[in-house]
Amino acid sequence: GAVVSQHPSRVICKSGTSVKIECRSLDFQATTMFWYRQFPKQSLMLMATSNEGSKATYEQGVEKDKFLINHASLTLSTLTVTSAHPEDSSFYICSAAPGQSFNEQFFGPGTRLTVL
């Protein structure tokens, strides 16, 4: 089956620093990737949709200047949390959709971000 990886799996950083999370589709090309955030005991919330070679589409309430998304290739999307604060501490999950038809999404294992 299709595999999506994320790196790092866990990161702890100081308040005010920036953190980059990578999402890779390992055995397929992903025209579209999605970024979700999940707080404890809550469901996944879609943050943004990332299309290769174009700007990401952000959901309402998600600050595009704080959560920078780059989808530079068909197998890699990155999410950079800029000037992180403790309230940004969360579980960040990406998913990737193969080809033009993204009825099916394959999810990464998630990245646990803790901002001190």
Q: What are phi and psi of 55, to 5 degrees?
A: -70, 150
**Distance from C-alpha of 57 to C-alpha of 42, rounded to nearest angstrom:** 23
**Distance from C-alpha of 13 to C-alpha of 32, rounded to nearest angstrom:** 28
Site for another protein in 60-89 (CB under 8 A): none
Using the rule CB under 8 A, which residue among 22, 70, 107, 114 binds another protein?
107
Contact letters (x/-) for another protein, 7-46, by CB under 8 A? Answer: -------------------------x-x-x------xxxx
**Distance from C-alpha of 9 to C-alpha of 31, rounded to nearest angstrom:** 23
Query: Rule CB under 8 A: which residues touch another protein?
Result: 1, 4, 6, 32, 34, 36, 43-46, 49, 91, 93, 95, 97, 101-110, 112
